[in-house]
Each structure stands twice: as C-alpha cells, then as structure tokens.
Amino acid sequence: GQQVMQIPQYQHVQEGEDFTTYCNSSTTLSNIQWYKQRPGGHPVFLIQLVKSGEVKKQKRLTFQFGEAKKNSSLHITATQTTDVGTYFCAAFNAGGTSYGKLTFGQGTILTVHP
Amino acid sequence: ETGVTQTPRHLVMGMTNKKSLKCEQHLGHNAMYWYKQSAKKPLELMFVYSLEERVENNSVPSRFSPECPNSSHLFLHLHTLQPEDSALYLCASSQEQPGVLTGELFFGEGSRLTVL
C-alpha cells in the first residue's frame, strides 16, 4: 500500500528559530493535507494542497506541494511556544477514491524551548 | 468544541470485558471514521462509513465491531481485546461529494483505551 514518509521524527528548537518538516511519497499524490495535534489533544486540520507546485501561507506557516506531487513541506518561521505539537501530513493516492482514505505520515514532534 | 464528541474519554477494561466507544458528530457530515493512534505509529484507519454504509474495513480484527445507526452516530464495540489494543481511538467525520476528493477530517478528542 501507499506509504508516506515524514521527517524528521523529532525536532527541538529554540523559540524564534525556524522549523521545517518534510513529507515524501514514492507514488504521485492527488492532494496532501496537514494536521496539527497539540500534546494531549486531537489532530486539527491545517490546510490542503492540490496543485503541482502549490504554495500556501498561514501567518508564519508556509506549505508547499512539490512539482511532481510526490513531496510536501511545512515551514514555520520564528517558532513560538504555541507551535508545540505533532505535525502530520496525510495524502490521497492519485486515482484513489474519496471517503477520506488518507494515508498519514508518522508525524514530526516539535518542541520549542523558550 | 470540535463538533465531534467522543465518549468515554478514558476507558480501562480487562481482556474479557465488552465495552463500546461512542461518537457523535454535529456537523451534518455524511462520512464517519474510526482511527487508531498508537505511540510511535502513524494514524491507522480502521473503518469508514459513508451514508451509514461501511465502505472501508482496513483488515481490522473481528474483536472490533463498528456500528453506524445513522449519519450522526458511530460506535465501536470492543470484545476480548488484547493489551496491544491499548491506544487512543479517534473518531472523525467529513463531508464527501461523489467524484470529488475532499476528505478534510474533523476529529473528536479521542477515547484513551487501556486493556489490562
């Protein structure tokens, strides 16, 4: 089945530093979603990317979808302690059906030291 | 408040017990899901219901039995579980359109299950 590899598994940063997590697939993706899960919380949808080469921004967060639609990244500029949590990518396989058959990456756990 | 409510939030059960997890969504969505979240593992899709019909069963052991009586409610019946089934069980819902990939998932807060 489809696998979505996410790196790094852990990232520790000082407050104010930047952070990036990467998501890679061996197969072409129809679209990719990003979720954030705070410690002790549940995953919350952040954004969906659909188009090849797409770039979207949400305040300090920048999301990119690769030209080949096989990879994606989430970049946070000037991290804050509120950014702490696990960031997941989740993807649909190209040609797949709907009904939310997302494949999740294993997540990147971000800790931010004040 | 996520619009998806799960009960109980915590459950401890023995291997011979029978219990159920409940999920209710107040978003008017037409699809509901059970996911399993274990430590150091990706989220694992267990079951998908669309318009109250099960459309996905991801090779889940029969000791887990889902039930979807209507589009707003979803249950996960648990019977003779194993300690390795201890995990966070997340319910989610989404609004699906035929032929259009949407799939933005709205998760509940989860039910933390411990099997002794």
Cβ separation B107–A44 shorter than 8 A? yes
- Minimum distance, in Å, between the CA of residue A44 and any CA atom of chain B: 7
Encode pLDDT of B46-72 as tens digits: 988 887 677 666 789 999 999 999 989
Q: Per-residue pLDDT tens for B16-40?
A: 889 999 999 999 998 899 999 998 7
Mean pLDDT by 10 residues, chain A (114 residues): 86 97 92 94 95 97 96 98 96 59 89 95
Inspect the interface and report whether the beta carbons of B109 and A41 lie closer than 8 Å. Answer: yes
Per-residue pLDDT, B114: 95
Mean pLDDT of chain B: 89
What are the two backbone dihedrals, phi and then psi, of residue A87, each rounded to the nearest 5 degrees? -105, 125
Contact list in A for residue B31 (CB cut-off 8 A) is 99-100
Whether A100 and B33 lie within 8 Å, measured CB to CB: yes
Give pLDDT, residue A105: 92
Residue recorded with tokens 């219901």: B49
Query: Closest Cα of chain B to A85: distance in Å?
Result: 14
pLDDT at position B104 is 87
Q: Which residues contact A34 (CB under 8 A, 6 or more apart)?
A: A45, A46, A47, A48, A63, A72, A74, A87, A88, A89, A90
Decide if B42 contacts A91 (C-beta within 8 A).
no
Mutation choice for A interface testing from B104, B106, B109, B111 by most A CBs within 10 A: B104
Q: How far is CA A49 from CA A110, B8, B20, B40, in A?
A: 22, 34, 36, 26
What pLDDT is recorded for position B50? Answer: 81
* C-alpha torsion A21→A26→A28→A29, nearest 10: -40
pLDDT > 70: percent of chain B: 90
Share of chain B above pLDDT 90, in %: 65
